[in-house]
Amino acid sequence: MNAHQTQSGRLSQVLWYLPVLLILAFFTFPLIWIVMTALKPPIDVFAYPPKFVFTPTLDNYRRVLASDYMDSLGHSVIIALVSAAFSVVLGTLTAYGFSRYPLRGKDNLFFWILSLRMLPVIAVIVPYFLLFQRVGLTDTLVAMMLVYAVFNISFTVWLLKGFFDEVPREMEEAAKMDGYGPWGVFTRVALPLVIPGIATAIVFNVVQSINEFLLAFVLTQRKATTAPIALLNFLTPMGLDWGGISAAASMLVTPVIILAIIVRKHLIRGMSFGQLE
Amino acid sequence: MATLKLELLNLIYGGQGTPSTHAVRDVDLVVGDGEFCVFLGPSGCGKTSTLRMIAGLETPTSGVVRLDGRVINDLYPGERDIAMVFQSYALYPHLTVRGHLELPLKAQRVPKVERERRVNEIADLLQIADLLEARPRQLSGGQAQRTAIGRALIRQPRLFLLDEPLTNLDARLRLETRAALKRLQNELSITTIYVTHDQEEALSLADTIVVMNDGRVQQVATPHELYGHPVNRFVAGFIGTPPMNFVAATIHPSANGQVDESSLALVTTGFILPLSAQGTAASDVRGRSGLVPGAALTLGVRPEDLIVGPLAGGDGPRGRVVVVEPQGDERIISVALTGGDAAQTVWKVRAPKRGPGVNVAVGDAVGLTVRPRGLRLFDKETEERVL
């Protein structure tokens, strides 16, 4: 009887997980495919029908690790982290201001900030290029950090304002009564309560910057190339180096995965627009 | 230890295009040192707004808030040395009970050893010593409330404000906490202002009750005075359960057109009450403004000042029993008055379990007698009490 019960319990558990597994497979398949391609010897890459069983090799990774691509990957990570920090710090303060303080034309201003996000990137590439050329910032990491921070700040503000709006006013008032000034209220009460939002914003910022191609393509040439641009180097006159490009691409995903693992506890609450209990 | 003085305090919300609300009007009030003062009134009467102005969370449109003689209008809430307990308790999900208690001390930069001593002291006082490491979501309603009170009291403020602190507790816990609060306030003898819409809470806790309505202070009095001598119809109707019974009435001009002691009578459209028979001496009546024959008045009688009896002859109030609600040791009998316009009115009578009105049942025709000195008269226009 007992055994039977456990068995049926296990069965229903499997049935519950089945759809989850299907969805997971659908979304992770491209990633798995890339990693598999990276691990295949050149001859197996073009095998048709595709081979799922093969002798893995680390040749592709070795080649990529020895190449210039690693510099670009480093650029990408540094640019992403610094621009995310910049955007999240400024965005948090701005969002708090929008959420808590009266401001004339607040709604219009707030919409204007979001509308920056609606601008097609291609429309600003030439102005940016000319601007950076004039101040001597073309092909520098600083330029890319600034551009990405500016692009992501609007989303950060928008996201975090929602989180700050959910912080009950009475909690802040209680801190005021306890003897804290505006900065104390912000750091002791408001900020700890929106950590899930901040985690979400950081991940979003980093993903956006690491993925970005168009701006980096125009605004960097050699010294500051980012990983997505460097991937083009695997497009050689001798043909497309599928193994190399797959290994490089899979390495580009790693920083994001590491970041997501670090903040995953907060991320889940953040993504579900974490109700404060 | 402090005396609070409010001088002509006004608060107007909104304005500049949006419709404005005059939430608090000309509030003039003194709360003495160590006093337990309760602001009582229906929701939206301005009691919480007044409290928030005292706390500094709201800026008065005009008027002065003084604490021990010093004007504190322009001080930041944290600089006023006033503590407040919020209706929602406003506990932070990211802090433990200890964290909550320490927070006000950290703001004052109290050294760690001293901080620890005071946290333990207040935790013992409020019986939350074994919960110091718990987080708000692990606390029951009563525990959360005590944590909120502890956070407010730990820095020994000069003034202690409570905004409907018992609303979120269940009925039994509310009674317990009420008693505990009263004891605590007595022990600490800290000047306290307590906001509530629950008259029972107000009557049982307060040294002084401030009844507010429509942004104005209606009456400031002890609970006893408030019940016995309400200044106007609003206070009379707000204090007491069930509320006071009202009906429109006029003073009957006597046969010779004089205010004559023997013939002085109160006439409603449904019944006539000879005032002298109610133990009201005509000398009480004479000389009071508003008490002239023919003046439009409102008559009020508390349910406990009415006696249900068998229907008798004469012009006294009478009616038909519509509802009988047993209440343990007493019953509340609803009587629909008969005769004239008063027929629209249902009066409630509190009848002891033993005594007159024991046997009444729904549908019975009954007569009502007013106990001596049970009558209240209010000017119909100004609603001020005239008798």
| pLDDT higher than 50, residue A276 | no
Q: Which residue in chain B has the smallest CA separation from A191?
A: B94
Q: How confident is the model at residue A120 (pLDDT cuts 50, 70, 90)?
A: confident
Selecting from A170, A178, A277 the residue whose C-beta is nearest the C-beta of B88 gives A170
Residues B237 and B227: their CA atoms lie apart, in Å, by 10
Least confident of A130-139, A246-255, B186-195, B372-381: B372-381
- Helices (H), ranges, chain B: 47-55, 97-107, 112-125, 141-153, 171-188, 199-205, 223-228, 233-238, 282-285
The string of pLDDT tens digits covering residues B8-20 is: 999 998 766 677 8
Q: Which residues of B touch A (CB under 8 A)?
A: 55-57, 76-79, 82-84, 86-88, 90-94, 103-104, 107-108, 136-137, 148, 151-152, 155
Task: Please report, for the domain that includes residue B175, its CATH number.
Answer: 3.40.50.300
| pLDDT higher than 50, residue A275 | no
The verdict on B69 and B205 lying in the same domain is yes
| pLDDT higher than 90, residue A14 | no
A175 CB neighbours in chain B (<8 A) are 103
The verdict on B95 and B169 lying in the same domain is yes
Positive or negative torsion for Cα A80, A86, A90, A96: positive
Residues B222 and B207: their CA atoms lie apart, in Å, by 6
How many domains is chain B built from? 2
A189 CB neighbours in chain B (<8 A) are 92
The string of pLDDT tens digits covering residues A89-99 is: 999 999 999 99
The verdict on B227 and B328 lying in the same domain is no
The verdict on B266 and B171 lying in the same domain is no
The verdict on B99 and B231 lying in the same domain is yes
Q: Is residue B385 part of a domain?
A: no
Q: What ipTM goes with this model?
A: 0.81
Q: Look at residues B211, B236, B261 and tell me which one is the last residue of a structural domain.
A: B236
The verdict on B206 and B302 lying in the same domain is no
- Fold of the domain built from segment(s) A58-271: MetI-like fold (1.10.3720)
User: Residue B4: what pLDDT?
Assistant: 94
Range of the domain at B327: 245-379
| pLDDT higher than 60, residue A5 | no
The verdict on B232 and B254 lying in the same domain is no
Residue ranges of chain A that CATH labels 1.10.3720.10 = 58-271
Q: Is residue B386 part of a domain?
A: no
Q: Is residue B130 part of a domain?
A: yes
Residues A244 and A233: their CA atoms lie apart, in Å, by 10
Q: How confident is the model at residue B344 (pLDDT cuts 50, 70, 90)?
A: low
The verdict on B275 and B192 lying in the same domain is no
The string of pLDDT tens digits covering residues A58-74 is: 888 998 998 889 999 99
Report pTM: 0.81
Residues B15 and B81: their CA atoms lie apart, in Å, by 31
The string of pLDDT tens digits covering residues B106-165 is: 998 999 999 999 999 999 988 899 999 999 999 998 899 999 999 999 988 999 999 999
The verdict on B128 and B162 lying in the same domain is yes
Task: Please report, for the domain that includes residue B276, its CATH number.
Answer: 2.40.50.140
Q: Look at residues B202, B236, B270 and tell me which one is the last residue of a structural domain.
A: B236
The verdict on B260 and B213 lying in the same domain is no
| pLDDT higher than 90, residue A233 | no
Listed ranges A53-67, A222-236, B37-51; the one with the highest mean pLDDT:
B37-51
| pLDDT higher than 90, residue A238 | no
| Whether B342 contacts B270, CB under 8 Å | yes
| pLDDT higher than 50, residue A172 | yes
Segment B352-366 shows an average pLDDT of 80
The verdict on B299 and B160 lying in the same domain is no
Distance from CA of A163 to the nearest CA of B (A): 15
Residues A142 and B21: their CA atoms lie apart, in Å, by 53
B194: enclosing H helix or E strand = strand B191-196
| Whether B39 contacts B220, CB under 8 Å | no
Q: Is residue B387 part of a domain?
A: no
Q: Do B94 and A184 touch (CB under 8 A)?
A: no
Q: Look at residues B216, B236, B256 and tell me which one is the last residue of a structural domain.
A: B236
| pLDDT higher than 50, residue B261 | no
The verdict on B150 and B297 lying in the same domain is no
